[in-house]
Structure 1
Amino acid sequence: MTPVHHKLAGLDMLASAVILLDAEGRISYANAAAENLLESSLKALSRQKLTALFSNPDELAGVCVQALEHKFADMRQDLTLARPGREALHVHSIISALDDADGTILIELRENVQQRKLDREERILDQSQVNKELIRNLAHEIKNPLGGIRGAAQLLELELPALHLGALREYTQVIIKEADRLQTLVDRLLAPHRRPHIVGDVNIHEVCERVRSLILAEFPSGLTILRDYDASIPEFRGDKEQLIQTVLNIAHNAAQALSERILAGDAELVFKTRVARQVTLAKVRHNLALDLHIIDNGPGISPQIRDRIFYPLVSGREGGSGLGLTLAQTFVQQHMGVIECESRPGYTDFRIVLPLP
């Protein structure tokens, strides 16, 4: 280890990425956090030009040149560094030239978590809009021929000869019942777009209590529902019935996932409310927001579907329609909010964030 690197060995303890460049812009040192951020070892990075790692290096290179010319003590700015074949890095950078004759530049990079969160929310919103448009078009395309199929089966049943009516009627009834089942599915797909948005004053704890009573009525033993409420949360304008349906869909899914723990008698659901401050939702900054968590101690969501749980017709349960979470996401987005999920074995947390006045 060179003397400079020996002095900087303690930087491996830092959470932020620290990189040293020589006067030519080549990497001479990177701490452990920098190796993690750049997804490469110091040995592989050493003597590479930092700007060569990115497809949009001009802004970073320009600041490094200014640092060498001592035009500032340190420069602090947010950068988006695009990487070929990898996710772009959103970082807050601090760049300065060290007081030595070698022209060494010190760069500190910290991941911009807020920017990553905004990008994720934007992707989710875009995907949701595409899903909703696809669902509406598909449902309407299915609806018309479905009515014709059912009607034709009824007419066929009327024309069946009396001699064979009993045996053949079984087949026409299968057609009619399956058409009715598909009609019910189509109606559920279209439900969020048909019902008017009825806005009034909403107390989120009344919503939670309503859902709590419905869940306990269906699962009267083996399941405990805990309340962890912040009584200071103000009422807000919203569609109470939509929010009840949203919380109910999530809580009901959780209760069904808790079936084994319910049998064991240690199933647990938690309704937790908090106030979040200075929250950005759909690119709009809000001073206050409702932070509602629905937490269960079930087996967790399968990794195979974790990234797709809000997609229509995706279900982790045998016989599930895969529409409950899709409807919940639609209703939350109609309230200008977001819904997120964190899940691992023994802990699943659905988080709903809605703007408050």
Structure 2
Amino acid sequence: MNGGGGAGAPGASADALGGLELLATAVLLADPDGQIRYANPAAENLLESSLKALSRQKLAALFGNGDELARLCALALDHQYGDLRQDLTLERAGREPLHVHSIVSAAEGGVVIELRENVQQLKLDREERILDQSQVNKELVRNLAHEIKNPLGGIRGAAQLLELELPPRHLSQLREYTQVIIKEADRLQTLVDRLLAPHRRPHIVGDVNIHEVCERVRSLMLAEFPHGLTIRRDYDASIPEFRGDKEQLIQTVLNIAHNAAQALCERIAAGDAELVLRTRVGRQVTLAKVRYALALDLHIIDNGPGISPQIRDRIFYPLVSGREGGSGLGLTLAQTFVQQHMGVIECESRPGLTDFRILLPLP
């Protein structure tokens, strides 16, 4: 950023502005009329706009609901408070709203506005979206599966009856076609049963040791991928047992680990594929708008190519798969099982590292 942009900042020396440019927190300086005079690089990044563009605007016009921020500035200028602190959701045309913690202070010749992204609010919003998405998915899948299931039985039955009526001289030739119908109907029936499985199977609750779950998954994975895949343990032995469905949790971790191993096929062939099972205790964790003092924080991390950006936001949708021939049900079932335990699955992915994080409340 050139120094000329900050020359007109209210009550700010060149040295002070130089110091602001090193901050990771977004800082804006405005004159008493609300005209922006300076924005540090962190503010340019947060607001996705240059100092030149920002300096042509007033605070009240910068956001769709900028009047609230302008009101805080007016209060600060009246010297009614030393500084004003408030959580704000700043609306922006055509962009995601900004959840920020704002600190507004009076300065010589104007006001200083400090904006810090409210990470906790962002996390809550993301979890709420995941829960809403999952609920819609469950209803859609359940209704769709029932709609498919009924005519599917009729198709299979009709093919069997047709096969019984085939003339003997054409039996071997035409039976091939009826068998295709029957086998494809059976394949679709299996798919429907998998879609309905989480809603049919009772939730069997008992004491669960998460490390027994991880060790079971580890042994299953190493049996399937004995060469080229290293599975590293990184356990916190202090994690207590909790009430849950052990088989559902094994299936959850196994689905994620299996997906990771399939994404790691090239690294497995090269002999440097790695899967990490990491357990930690999270403190003061909010899940589905409920705050828990303790939570299980389980990570399944791989060093694969990462999830394609095209499907990254849809990986928990049913029938969405990142590989050819995949059913797209593994992660949907995993999210359903975890939500039945009042938890959530999150995912961060980039080339070389994909981290699935399972959060479950602890007693």
TM over 0.5: yes
Matching residue within 331, 343, 362 for 1:356: 362
**1:44 alignment partner in structure 2:** 53
How many residues were matched structurally? 354
CA shift, 1:5, in A, is: 5.4
Q: Note if contact 1:227-1:272 (Cα within 8 Å) is conserved in structure 2.
A: yes
**2:79 alignment partner in structure 1:** 70
**1:248 alignment partner in structure 2:** 254
CA shift, 1:308, in A, is: 1.2
> 1:35 and 2:44 equivalent?
yes
**1:343 alignment partner in structure 2:** 349
Equivalent residues in 2 for 1:89-100, closer than 5 Å: 89-98=98-107, 100=108
Secondary structure of the 1:106 match is strand
Secondary structure of the 2:237 match is coil
Greater mean deviation of Cα atoms: 344-353 or 282-291: 344-353
C-alpha separation between the residues in 2 aligned to 1:36 and 1:224?
Answer: 39
CA shift, 1:223, in A, is: 1.5
**2:273 alignment partner in structure 1:** 267
Q: Note if contact 2:75-2:81 (Cα within 8 Å) is conserved in structure 1.
A: yes
Q: Note if contact 2:28-2:40 (Cα within 8 Å) is conserved in structure 1.
A: yes
Q: Note if contact 1:5-1:29 (Cα within 8 Å) is conserved in structure 2.
A: no
Uncovered stretches (5+) of structure 1, i.e. residues with no partner: none
C-alpha separation between the residues in 2 aligned to 1:139 and 1:39?
Answer: 44
Once the two structures are superposed, what CA deviation does each residue of 1:91-138 show, in whole Å capped at 9, x if it has no partner? Answer: 01110111x3x3x01110000011011111111111111111100000
C-alpha separation between the residues in 2 aligned to 1:34 and 1:344?
Answer: 25
Once the two structures are superposed, what CA deviation does each residue of 1:226-271 show, in whole Å capped at 9, x if it has no partner? Answer: 1110000000111111000000001111112222222222221111
Equivalent residues in 2 for 1:203-222, closer than 5 Å: 203-222=209-228
Once the two structures are superposed, what CA deviation does each residue of 1:21-46 show, in whole Å capped at 9, x if it has no partner? Answer: 11111101111111111111111111
Q: Which amino acid aligns with 2:62?
A: L
Once the two structures are superposed, what CA deviation does each residue of 1:135-180 show, in whole Å capped at 9, x if it has no partner? Answer: 0000000000000000000000001111111111111000000000
C-alpha separation between the residues in 2 aligned to 1:47 and 1:155?
Answer: 78
Secondary structure of the 1:232 match is coil
C-alpha separation between the residues in 2 aligned to 1:303 and 1:81?
Answer: 27
Greater mean deviation of Cα atoms: 310-319 or 150-159: 310-319
Q: CA RMSD in A?
A: 1.1
Q: Which amino acid aligns with 1:285?
A: R
**1:290 alignment partner in structure 2:** 296
Matching residue within 25, 31, 34 for 1:22: 31
Q: Note if contact 1:192-1:330 (Cα within 8 Å) is conserved in structure 2.
A: yes
C-alpha separation between the residues in 2 aligned to 1:268 and 1:294?
Answer: 11
Q: Note if contact 1:25-1:50 (Cα within 8 Å) is conserved in structure 2.
A: yes
Q: Which amino acid aligns with 1:231?
A: A
**2:314 alignment partner in structure 1:** 308
**2:324 alignment partner in structure 1:** 318
**2:64 alignment partner in structure 1:** 55
Matching residue within 154, 169, 175 for 1:169: 175
Q: Which amino acid aligns with 1:164?
A: H
> 1:125 and 2:131 equivalent?
yes
CA shift, 1:302, in A, is: 1.7
Once the two structures are superposed, what CA deviation does each residue of 1:315-343 show, in whole Å capped at 9, x if it has no partner? Answer: 11221101001100111111111111112
Matching residue within 148, 156, 163 for 1:157: 163
Secondary structure of the 1:186 match is helix
Greater mean deviation of Cα atoms: 180-189 or 308-317: 308-317
Q: Which amino acid aligns with 1:97?
A: A
- Alignment TM-score, normalising by the size of structure 2: 0.95
**1:139 alignment partner in structure 2:** 145
- The share of aligned pairs that are identical, in percent, is 84
Q: Note if contact 2:59-2:69 (Cα within 8 Å) is conserved in structure 1.
A: no
Q: Note if contact 1:68-1:105 (Cα within 8 Å) is conserved in structure 2.
A: yes
Secondary structure of the 2:274 match is strand
Secondary structure of the 1:83 match is coil
> 1:231 and 2:240 equivalent?
no
> 1:80 and 2:89 equivalent?
yes
Q: Note if contact 1:203-1:236 (Cα within 8 Å) is conserved in structure 2.
A: yes
Secondary structure of the 2:278 match is strand
Secondary structure of the 2:194 match is helix
Equivalent residues in 2 for 1:168-187, closer than 5 Å: 168-187=174-193
Uncovered stretches (5+) of structure 2, i.e. residues with no partner: none
C-alpha separation between the residues in 1 aligned to 2:286 and 2:30?
Answer: 36
Q: Which amino acid aligns with 1:125?
A: L
CA shift, 1:203, in A, is: 0.3
- Alignment TM-score, normalising by the size of structure 1: 0.97
CA change 1:5–1:120 in 2 (3 A) is farther
Q: Which amino acid aligns with 1:177?
A: K
C-alpha separation between the residues in 2 aligned to 1:41 and 1:125?
Answer: 36
C-alpha separation between the residues in 2 aligned to 1:83 and 1:254?
Answer: 37
C-alpha separation between the residues in 1 aligned to 2:183 and 2:279?
Answer: 43
Secondary structure of the 1:184 match is helix
Once the two structures are superposed, what CA deviation does each residue of 1:58-93 show, in whole Å capped at 9, x if it has no partner? Answer: 322221111111110101111111112111110011
